[in-house]
Amino acid sequence: MKDNIWIGLVCLSGRPDNPILDGCLGAYVNTLAWAENIEEFRQTVYRNSLEIKLNLDEILWAEPIEARLKKNEINDYLIELANEIETKGDCRFGIFHAWEEREQ
């Protein structure tokens, strides 16, 4: 896998015209993107989240996938997404873990 595929945990929130979250306020999702650095990762994720009518609220962490693999296991589904990025580029979102309301 190439060093310029990044993985990160991002927080996305829904816009009124978004069907993905199905009425939930937001979601955490493992996200992979073709990037040279954290800023390029942020820009790519931001652009791709807008395309699916979601807002990028926060990047909790992000790093090159090779660095992540040295210290953690990554499930097969995310590895498949990384392989897609190697051939097709850009960005892929993993499974959305949504919440319906904010804790107080």
Could you tell me the two tokens for 60?
């909790």
Percent of the chain residues topping a pLDDT of 90: 72
Q: Is residue 34 part of a domain?
A: yes
Q: Is residue 104 part of a domain?
A: no
Q: Is residue 69 part of a domain?
A: yes
Q: Give CA angle at 66 (61, 69), nearest 5°.
A: 80
pLDDT band at 99 (very low <50, low <70, confident <90, very high): confident
Q: Is residue 28 part of a domain?
A: yes
Domain total for the chain? 1
Q: What is the pTM of this model?
A: 0.89
Indicate if the pLDDT at residue 84 is higher than 60.
yes
Query: 92 is in which domain, residue-wise?
Result: 5-99
Residue type, 17: D
Q: Is residue 35 part of a domain?
A: yes
Cα gap 33→40, rounded to integer Å? 9
DSSP label of 3:
T
Cα gap 92→85, rounded to integer Å? 7
Q: Is residue 18 part of a domain?
A: yes
